[in-house]
Amino acid sequence: MGGSVELRRSWQRLLGLWTDRPRREGTTIADRYTIQELLGMGSYGLTYLCIDVRTGREVALKESKPSKGRLSAHLLEREADVMKRLHHPAIPDLLDMFTSGRRSYIVTEYVRGQTLEECIFEQGLQYTERECLELAGQLLAPVAHVHEQGYIHGDVRIPNVILREGMVHLIDFGLARRLGEPLLPELKRRMREVPEPEDEPATPDHDLQDIGHFLLFMLYSAYEPEKGREPASWQEELDLTPELHHMLDRLLGLRPSYKGGATELLAEMGYVLQKVRS
């Protein structure tokens, strides 16, 4: 039995390598969207930078992966259903949704900038406590808007935050879900990168905890370990202002969380900003 399962998985991987190959630059989809470059490839979709030939504007087009079958198309439909309810300057607008051939597509505004992951790991940028808090404070605005519409983003991480002219933009709503809704069973089974357990219903705390991890990534951008020192916890490695340390404890579930959601957190960020080093 185990051998047949492994054989099937190997076959599925080989099939995926063939069917999910990125489309070539210059390919036009649905007689409208001409591919400029591949922006990224996820577990269930491929995202391209395209030119909308009708308007001449740059757009981001996400295509379902054929190897993932109906689930991939279903996830795109869910993502589009969330995005059409969101209207915030730090969130790309949903522009189009369609099927072509056996694939499903959604089209959103393209935010030209750099992800904070690129800023830290490719450009080597370092951020002070104040800069980290100011960026996290900006990020709270679109996150709060998502919560107000009855959803969580579900994946607030540095690869999904774009910095453009000093302003943050939140992208990729592929894991967004309604407040109170558990993660789809299909995702729990098939997306290994989603940590367990994920059976509990979605709450704003999920996104606020992500913002805590987001802050840690940003703060570590300026961390330089001592030579020969063994790795330790963030509490030991990062020399933080006490108020910021306390806030991170709350975000990461080490102290009572923010029952008032993003509004309460934003108020505390304002207080902590008065205390941190520049």
Look at residue 69 in the predicted model and tell me its pLDDT. Answer: 83
The larger pLDDT score, comparing residue 15 to residue 154, is at: 154
Q: How confident is the model at residue 226 (pLDDT cuts 50, 70, 90)?
A: confident
For residue 112, the SS3 value is: coil
Look at residue 192 in the predicted model and tell me its pLDDT. Answer: 47
Tens digits of per-residue pLDDT, 180-205? 998 876 665 544 444 545 568 999 99
Look at residue 6 in the predicted model and tell me its pLDDT. Answer: 57
Separation between Cα atoms, residue 98 and residue 116, nearest integer Å:
30
DSSP codes, 178-244 = ETTPPPPHHHHHH-TTSPSP--SPP-HHHHHHHHHHHHHHHHHTT--PPTTPPP--HHHH----HHH
Q: How confident is the model at residue 17 (pLDDT cuts 50, 70, 90)?
A: low
CATH code reported for the domain at 114-273: 1.10.510.10
Q: What is the mean pLDDT of residues 27-48?
A: 94
Q: What is the mean pLDDT of residues 3-12?
A: 52
Look at residue 70 in the predicted model and tell me its pLDDT. Answer: 87
The larger pLDDT score, comparing residue 102 to residue 125, is at: 125
Q: What is the mean pLDDT of residues 228-243?
A: 92
CATH 3.40.920.10 for the 26-109 domain, yes or no: no
Which regions of 91-199 does DSSP assign to beta strands (E)?
94-100, 103-109, 114-115, 151-152, 161-164, 167-170, 177-178
Look at residue 4 in the predicted model and tell me its pLDDT. Answer: 56
Tens digits of per-residue pLDDT, 103-128? 999 999 999 999 999 999 999 999 99
Q: How confident is the model at residue 227 (pLDDT cuts 50, 70, 90)?
A: confident
- Where along the chain do the CATH 1.10.510.10 domains lie? 114-273
- Where along the chain do the CATH 3.30.200.20 domains lie? 26-109
Task: Provide the CA 99 distance to its chain's centre, in angstroms.
Answer: 24
- Whether 16 has a pLDDT exceeding 60, the answer reads no
Look at residue 18 in the predicted model and tell me its pLDDT. Answer: 47
Look at residue 161 in the predicted model and tell me its pLDDT. Answer: 98
Q: What is the mean pLDDT of the chain?
A: 89
- Whether 38 has a pLDDT exceeding 70, the answer reads yes
Give how far Cα 70 sits from Cα of 22, 77, 102, 111, Å: 19, 11, 10, 28
Catalytic site positions: 155
For residue 96, the SS3 value is: strand
Tens digits of per-residue pLDDT, 158-172? 999 999 999 999 999
